[in-house]
Amino acid sequence: MRHALTLSVLIATTTAAAASPDLSDRHLDLVPRTAEEADRIAAVIPPTDDFSAPEAFEANSAGAATVTDWRGGQAFSQPSATLSSEETLDFAVGNGLFRKHWVPAPASTKASDGLGPLFNARACQQCHLHDGRGHPPEPGDTDRVSMVLKLSVPAPGDAALAEIEAYLAALDGSAPRTRPDPSLGSQLQDRALPGMDIEARWDVTYEESPVILSGGETVSLRRPTYHIDGVVSDGLVISPRVAPQMIGLGLLEAIPAQDILAHEDPDDRDGDGISGRAQIVWSQEYDAPMLGRFGLKAGMPTVRAQAAQALSTDIGISSPLHPDPAGDCTPRQTACRNAPHGDGDARHHEIDAAGLDLITFYSRNLAVPARRAVGDPEVLRGKQVFYETGCPACHVPKFVTHRLSRDTAQSYQLIWPYTDLLLHDMGEGLADHRPEGRASGREWRTPPLWGIGLTQAVSGHSYFLHDGRARSLLEAVLWHGGEAEPARTRVVEMPPADRAALITYLESL
């Protein structure tokens, strides 16, 4: 296992180096900030205490990259406003690849074959509907589901994984990791090519429980339980994941790692109850540890790495970063591994580096829509409630991106993503009990909130959280626990008018 060998060398080099890995932004071509720029950033980044009017540039969630001409269901599908004419053409070609339906191999269309053999979708767009959130399962409606089930089992005695565990232990003493299910892999594939069996069918049931709020309001929360037919692996852990929205990824990738790490407080030294910590992952692309930014547990360091992994596990498409044409099929799944694949032609992989780069470019440059009604009195009141409740401790409102010599569409922008991109303990109620890298089974990356008020318009539903269990923004807030339990309690106990204003503010993002 290449990762284990590389990590073994790293660990042997020095324990101190392992405990303090170099998390420089090796994926970006940086232009160092001047002292003047650093002073300007230091002046604009601190949280506001004036809620009488919008802050300067607050409506432009993505800085100059913000789009203002959004149209309903296509609000998340626009190119960044900072793209050149030539770059807009690359964006359009990447969009075509993102929407392309892959076909089984062998096929006359060599550039499109290699689907599966086991898979969850035939195209990226099938999960990221209109580039927004996927559909969680609903009773009586399974056709539009765009959710995957991540799988793992305990990994004691696995020599290769022991190397990774040793590296993680040198960082923070974290508990033993898990490994993919030896029969099903890291993700349940519920679709297959003709003549092959799917891995398994699955369904979900919900149990409702009421929460009584101040003023007599009652909200019902639904707790999901997932069932996989015929799976009996000892210790199998299931982690459901709804496809997240795609906007602003390139800007998140361009936030300086040091600015993200500045919000870390794993020992809660400031005593505010918030102890976010960085995810650290091994980058295949750069053969080094990097800051995790993408995925629900921040398991991927770059947009390109995230795209390559999704192509492999969701669609079964190999790439330079994931060269196995069988995707997530395990050695035990011989029919899948022995089936025809789409690699071995002029592209070598089922999607070549040029195609992967175009999908990456498209994903990086999906624009963030402008805020709505930022000066509305109810929105401003809700903003004050948001701050006073303590939400910005995790949902950090703003950053300034690196100045870049390339990828200039993301260069030196004041952005408002409302995330710290760190891992936080969200309590037992949201726990999936599936460790991922440094993330425990109770930890999740803070999701960006920009664009969240357009979810209904784009995706046709208002379901939130990692598995779509929350049917409204209020339900999503009420599921918060762990580090966010005090903020949740404040929401439960605050006057109904303040709670309504808070939701109005979130809907304006």
What is the rounded average pLDDT of the residues 289-310? 97
What residues pair up with 464 in beta bridges, in sequence order? Answer: 470
Return the number of other C-beta atoms located less than 10 Å from residue 323's C-beta: 13
DSSP per-residue letters across 291-355? E--BSTT--BSSHHHHHHHHIIIII----SSS--TTTT--TT-HHHHHS--S-SSTTSSSS-HHH
According to the model, what pLDDT value does residue 224 have? Answer: 94
Q: What are the tokens at 128?
A: 């990221």
Long-range (24+ apart) CB contacts under 8 A made by 264-267 are 264/422, 266/172
> How far, in Å, are 204, 210, 238 from residue 139 at the CA level?
8, 20, 20
Domain count, the chain: 1
> pLDDT-based confidence at 143, cuts 50/70/90?
low
Return the number of other C-beta atoms located less than 10 Å from residue 244's C-beta: 18
Q: What is the pLDDT of residues 15-42, one digit of tens each?
A: 333 456 788 899 999 999 999 999 999 9
According to the model, what pLDDT value does residue 14 have? Answer: 30
Rounded (to 5) percent helix, strand, coil in the chain:
35, 15, 50
> How far, in Å, CA of 313 to CA of 334, rounded?
17
According to the model, what pLDDT value does residue 167 have? Answer: 56
pLDDT at 300 over 80: yes
Length of the chain: 509
According to the model, what pLDDT value does residue 144 have? Answer: 63
Q: What is the pLDDT of residues 373-404, one digit of tens each?
A: 999 999 999 999 999 999 999 999 999 999 99
Q: What is the pLDDT of residues 157-199, one digit of tens each?
A: 544 445 455 555 555 444 446 788 999 999 999 999 999 999 9
Residue 187 amino acid letter: Q
Return the number of other C-beta atoms located less than 10 Å from residue 55's C-beta: 17
- Produce one character per residue of 115-137: b if its CB has 16 or more CB atoms within 10 Å, e if not: bbbbbbbbbbbbbbbbbbbbbbb
Burial of 160 (0-12, 13-18, 19+ CB in 10 A): middle
Nearest Cα residue to 418 out of 458, 373, 375, 371: 371
39, 191 in Cβ contact below 8 A?
no
Nearest Cα residue to 171 out of 341, 292, 316, 344: 292
Please give the residue range of the domain that contains residue 495: 2-508
